[in-house]
Structure 1
């Protein structure tokens, strides 16, 4: 049994991945509802077209909402590319098959990538330059989302305020007409 940090890491990553793979891996036939990140790391990766092994999962990339956004696939020398390569495969381009899912001690995953070798080799290479660009892009997208949400809220408030003003004026006019009719 594990204690301390490894157990916490395992539990935390498993929880983070629980919903993310279901959403991210849209091609998956039967979502399992809960996935073990510990078992997903180092899972074998295969091509969808010919079920040929092309590497293993090296890393799991999460977004600000802690959803799985991509997997990093280490292809080793399996793709006729010089040297080891690690590629970023975005959610929606892979699915996860579960084997022996009823027993945590025996659970195994197979990651199926829905791309050809040529398409995989065109994916971003997982390196520091990619990491910095992706972090900056994600930060900017988050800021734009926050600004858009704030702007939408302000627009909604302004619209509601105008509507309430119009209703108030209409009620005021009805009140004056009622008072004039009563006199």
Structure 2
């Protein structure tokens, strides 16, 4: 008995905690797994359509990646398609667009169409792709990356410490049971 609970209950609780902690790490890795394979070369200059309309509103000018090479955003060049003065380029974050593949069985004929979940009015409200935006986004992304690394390291250390303490308690409980069993056998 440990704190009024049978030994097997304490072992089960500690084991379940360790499995759950490990499962969270596996789940995070599984979520990062790619869902398909895309050609960046073919994605460049792909036509961009708004899901709110049927007319082309631009084309992909650039693909923005973060430190772990995940697509963070696309830069959409509206050219003269939206009746804006001069070429305008807007940053459309991941989650606000989908990529539709045409002729995907042939690398020579593959084509992409990007569909953004924004109306034309909402598109022009997205950040303009300028040097100022680039500098601010780059610094913000780097800081977020550092914070994530620090948080992950701290969480891992806490998990290790908790698992170590649980294993120490289990070891002590087993030792106590062994001593009590030995004492009972000697009597």
Gaps of at least 5 residues in structure 1 are 1-18, 23-32
Report what 1:67 is aligned to. Answer: 70
- Cα shift at 1:169: 2.2
Q: TM-score, normalised by structure 1?
A: 0.75
CA-to-aligned-CA distance 1:103-141 (integer Å, 9 cap, x gap): 333322221112111110111111111111211221122
Report what 2:13 is aligned to. Answer: none
Are residues 1:132 and 2:135 paired?
Answer: yes
State how far apart, in whole Å, the 2-side matches of 1:170 and 1:105 are: 66
| Closer/same/farther in 2, CA of residues 142 and 180 from structure 1, 3 Å limit | same
Gaps of at least 5 residues in structure 2 are 1-32
**3-state SS of 1:80 partner:** coil
Q: TM-score, normalised by structure 2?
A: 0.74
> How do residues 142-157 of structure 1 correspond to structure 2 at under 5 angstroms?
142-157=145-160
CA-to-aligned-CA distance 1:71-95 (integer Å, 9 cap, x gap): 1001113223322111011112112
State how far apart, in whole Å, the 2-side matches of 1:114 and 1:40 are: 18
**3-state SS of 1:81 partner:** coil
State how far apart, in whole Å, the 1-side matches of 2:119 and 2:106 are: 33
Count of residues in correspondence between the two structures: 154
Report what 2:51 is aligned to. Answer: 48
Choose between structure 1 and 2 for higher RCO, CA contacts under 8 A separated by at least 6 residues.
Answer: 2
Report what 2:14 is aligned to. Answer: none
Are residues 1:88 and 2:53 paired?
Answer: no
